[in-house]
Amino acid sequence: MTRDDPYRRARHLAELGRHADAEAELRAALAAEPGDADLLTLLGYVLRRHHDYEAALEACDAAIAADARLADAHAERAESLMALIRDADAIAAAGEAARLAPYEPAGHLVLARALASAGRHDEARTAARHGLSLAPQSVDALLTVAGVERGAGRRKEAEQAARQALAIDPASPYGRWLMAMLDAERLHVGRSMRALHDVARDDPARPDVISMTWPVRSLLSALRRWLAAAVLLVAAAAPAATWWRPAAGASRVLAALFAAVVAGFGLRVLLPAGRLPWRCLRLVPRRLRRATLGGTATVAVMVALLTAYAMTGLWWLPILALAAVPALVALGAAERAGARPEGRR
């Protein structure tokens, strides 16, 4: 479909990352043609990239009201719904896009992302592979496959698809971001942070500061999974040491061992990362920043209490550490809620 000049100009501005200028161009065009579904869909895209998800959804709803058979409008609506964490609605919208344009890859790819966002990984992989079959050399299709495979825990397949995409478009920000995050999951800390820094340098208008805090946040996530159990074990053994002498030495050794493991793992992750995660932490949303710093402080206090117990044998010290577990869990929930990624698309 051939578009007039305002649409082409707005799309070009959006591709350059000049979202405010693109929005102004679109709103001027829509003043003359308020029911143009293509202009409204593009406005939804621009607003979403500007993180105004509610307004983006309204634009997509208006586009669908103007032309309910426009597959692109349903697909863009699904993207906004995913950003708003309305996964069931996003799946329905993406499914409609795929139904309206079954031989176009875009609907199947957004459906794959919506299914993956909802944790329906097998269905997401099927949809992504189908989209790729319709456009085998599409960078977007390859990167969707890579993202879905990564979400399903299939890192080898994710890396293979991401590398194929980067062979076609070596400058792809999302492809480079995906490779950096795959390196992060393998604890290739330095390489991951360098790649994320390079992506941010090449796209200074949209730095992914949340991703660059992954060393701190991943460390906390790993510790939450087992530190509570470790503290519970020591806290259970410590009172027993007051009436059963053999338990005293064992519980103190356990406390020292757990504290040493936390310290060693922390150094393993944080030293290669350098100062960059901490600098980026100042730039993330306040809720995420407070939860991450609170979790870091809570872990530090728990480790200090375990270390003090290992040195002194005072049985109530691990009990205090155990009392901090609910705070650690609550801060983890707050951190996850504040860090839901919009993605690099």
C-alpha to C-alpha distance for 240 and 238, rounded to whole angstroms: 5
What pLDDT sits at residue 241?
64
pLDDT digits (tens, 9 = 90+) for 207-224: 788 999 999 999 999 888
Could you tell me if 287 and 337 are in contact, meaning their C-beta atoms sit under 8 angstroms apart?
Answer: yes
What pLDDT sits at residue 17?
80
Q: What is the mean pLDDT of residues 198-203?
A: 87
What are the Cα distances from residue 37, in Å, to 44, 73, 255?
10, 8, 64
In 3D space, the residue among 151, 153, 177, 152 whose CA is nearest the CA of residue 162 turns out to be 177
Q: What contacts 320, CB < 8 A, 6 or more positions away?
A: 305
What residue has token string 């890396």?
159
Percent of the chain topping pLDDT 90: 75
What pLDDT sits at residue 225?
80
Could you tell me if 177 and 208 are in contact, meaning their C-beta atoms sit under 8 angstroms apart?
Answer: yes
Q: Where are the domains of the chain?
A: 212-338
Asked whether the predicted pLDDT for residue 244 surpasses 70, the reply is no
Could you tell me if 57 and 84 are in contact, meaning their C-beta atoms sit under 8 angstroms apart?
Answer: yes
C-alpha to C-alpha distance for 302 and 220, rounded to whole angstroms: 13
Q: What is the mean pLDDT of residues 268-288?
A: 92
Three-class HEC string of the chain: CCCCHHHHHHHHHHHCCCHHHHHHHHHHHHHHCCCCHHHHHHHHHHHHHCCCHHHHHHHHHHHHHHCCCCHHHHHHHHHHHHHCCCHHHHHHHHHHHHHHCCCCHHHHHHHHHHHHHCCCHHHHHHHHHHHHHHCCCCHHHHHHHHHHHHHCCCHHHHHHHHHHHHHHCCCCHHHHHHHHHHHHHCCCHHHHHHHHHHHHHHCCCCCCCCHHHHHHHHHHHHHHHHHHHHHHHHHHHHHHCCCCHHHHHHHHHHHHHHHHHHHHHHHHHHHHHCCHHHHHHCCCCHHHHHHHHHHHHHHHHHHHHHHHHHHHCCCHHHHHHHHCHHHHHHHHHHHHHHCCCCCCC
Q: Who has greater pLDDT, 339 or 317? A: 317
pLDDT digits (tens, 9 = 90+) for 294-306: 999 999 999 999 9
What pLDDT sits at residue 247?
66
C-alpha to C-alpha distance for 310 and 15, rounded to whole angstroms: 59
Average pLDDT along the chain: 91
Read off the pTM.
0.84
340 — pLDDT class (breaks 50, 70, 90): low
343 — pLDDT class (breaks 50, 70, 90): very low
Q: Which of 99-113, 140-154, 224-238, 329-343 has the lowest mean pLDDT?
A: 329-343
Q: What contacts 254, CB < 8 A, 6 or more positions away?
A: 230, 233, 234, 237
What pLDDT sits at residue 344?
44
197 — pLDDT class (breaks 50, 70, 90): very high
